Amino acid sequence: MLQYYLSLIETEEDKKTFSEIYEVYQESLYNYSFSLLKNASDAEDALQNAFCNIIRAMSVPEDIHSTKVKNYLYATVHHCCVDILREKQKRGCEISVDLYPDIFPDNKLLDEQYFVNETYREAIEKLKSFSPEMVAPFTLYYYNNFSYTQVANLLNITEVAARKRVSRVRKAIKAAIGKGESDEQKK
């Protein structure tokens, strides 16, 4: 797919920069779009649209690892995901809840005891029940290591709203996991 994108770019400098951006961010951007859309095909479509938009707006950044570049990339993917969700809603399509990606790397969210098979599945199932507006800040904060300020800026919400959404999702997941454990202990 990278070759396709490179064919759309005119200058060698822009091709080199885009290649670096693609290599560094492609996987995490895909996971982010998948966490919002909950469907592999839609996530790929959103990512393809986002990369095409990025190419159209291409200007050579000084540092592809800068916060400014990272925020721009995630904002572009986020907007493409929202566009897909709106289009599905217009057509009256039911939003799919396919398998969820591994969004809890390095046990950042919960203690290791929660990452046993059944409990992990319960956490993922609970996460699927939230709207993209709730999942987006949670995913950006825990999976992509964004600060609350960065999440707020990216999603055009206040920092307080970002903190609250992350907190609500985290509490709901912990409650679902705790409920599952207490049910097992009663047996």
Question: What residues does each domain of the chain span?
Answer: 2-91, 105-186
Question: Binning pLDDT at 50, 70 and 90, where does residue 163 land?
Answer: very high
What's the pLDDT score for residue 176? Answer: 75
What's the pLDDT score for residue 98? Answer: 36
Does the domain spanning 105-186 belong to CATH 3.30.390.10?
Answer: no
Contact 117, 70 (CB under 8 A): no
Q: Which residue would you say has higher pLDDT here, 148 or 186? A: 148
Fold of 2-91: Rna Polymerase Sigma Factor; Chain: A (1.10.1740)
pLDDT in tens, 44-101: 999 999 988 888 877 766 688 888 888 888 888 988 988 888 887 777 654 443 333 3
Q: Do domains 2-91 and 105-186 have the same CATH topology?
A: no
Contacts of 168 (CB under 8 A, 6+ apart): 134
- The model's pTM: 0.61
Rounded CA-CA distance 31/100 in Å is 9
Question: Binning pLDDT at 50, 70 and 90, where does residue 159 land?
Answer: very high
Contacts of 128 (CB under 8 A, 6+ apart): 38, 97, 100
Angle (nearest 5°) at CA 132 between 126 and 133:
110
Collapsed DSSP state (helix, strand, coil) of residue 58 = coil
